[in-house]
């Protein structure tokens, strides 16, 4: 799974979460916007974290050198 496919999965999960909160907690436009902001922020945070770790491992300059004991 490449970078873009997983990013797409994150996007889909984000959209699903947005829809879920919209359907489950429909409390008027202002509150819905607030919920939307929360879900988007959370999705972006999670995606960023994953993306950073994934990108860092794509073309690493250091290779894992096993410990002698193991």
Partner 1 sequence: MVGCCPPMDLMRSEEMQLVQLIIPLESSHLTVSHLGDLGLLQFKDLNADKSPFQRTYANQIKKCGEMARRLRYFREQMSNAGISAPPKSFTRNDIKVDDLEVKLGELEAELTEMNANNGKLQRTYNELVEYKLVLQKAGEFFHSAQSIAAAQQREMEAQQTEESLDTPLLTDQEKSGDPSKQVQLGFFTGLVPREKSMPFERILFRATRGNVFLRQTTAENPVTDPASGEKVEKNVFVIFYSGERAKTKILKICEAFGANRYPFSEDFGKQAQMLKEVSGKLSELRTTIDAGLLHRGNLLQTIGDQFEQWNILVRKEKSIYHTLNMLSMDVTKKCLVAEGWCPVFATQQIQDLLHRATLDSNSQVEAIFQVLYTKESPPTYFRTNKFTTAYQEIVDSYGIARYREANPTVYTVVTFPFLFAVMFGDWGHGICLLICTLYLVIREKKLGSQKLGDIMEMMFGGRYVILMMAIFSIYTGFIYNEFFSVPFELFGKSAYDCRDLSCKDATIDGLIKVRDAYPFGLDPVWHGSRSELPFLNSLKMKMSILLGVAQMNLGIMMSFCNATFFRSCVDIWFQFVPQIIFLNSLFGYLSFLIVLKWCTGSKADLYHIMIYMFLSPTDDLGENELFSGQKTTQIVLLLLALVAVPWMLLPKPFIMKRQHENRHQGESYIPLQAEESLQGEAANGSHGEHEEFEFSEVLVHQLIHTIEFVLGAVSNTASYLRLWALSLAHSELSTVFYDKVLMLAWGYNNVFILIIGIIVFIFATVGVLLVMETLSAFLHALRLHWVEFQNKFYFGDGYKFYPFSFSLMVEEEE
Residue among 15 and 34 whose Cβ is closer to partner 1:
34
The verdict on 25 binding partner 1 (CB under 8 A) reads no
DSSP letters for 10-64? HHHHHHHHHHHHHHHT--HHHHHHHHHHHHHHHHHHHHHHHHHHHHHHHS-SS--
The single residue among 2, 4, 23, 24 that binds partner 1, judged by CB under 8 A, is: 2
The verdict on 26 binding partner 1 (CB under 8 A) reads no
Check residue 5 and report its DSSP letter: H
The verdict on 64 binding partner 1 (CB under 8 A) reads yes
The verdict on 4 binding partner 1 (CB under 8 A) reads no
């Amino acid at each position: 799974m490449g970078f873009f496919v997983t990013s797409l999965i994150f996007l889909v999960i984000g959209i699903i979460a947005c829809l879920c909160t919209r359907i489950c907690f429909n409390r008027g436009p202002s509150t819905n916007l607030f919920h939307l902001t929360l879900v988007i922020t959370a999705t972006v945070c999670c995606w960023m974290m994953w993306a950073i770790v994934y990108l860092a491992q794509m073309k690493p300059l250091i290779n894992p050198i096993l410990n002698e004991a193991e």
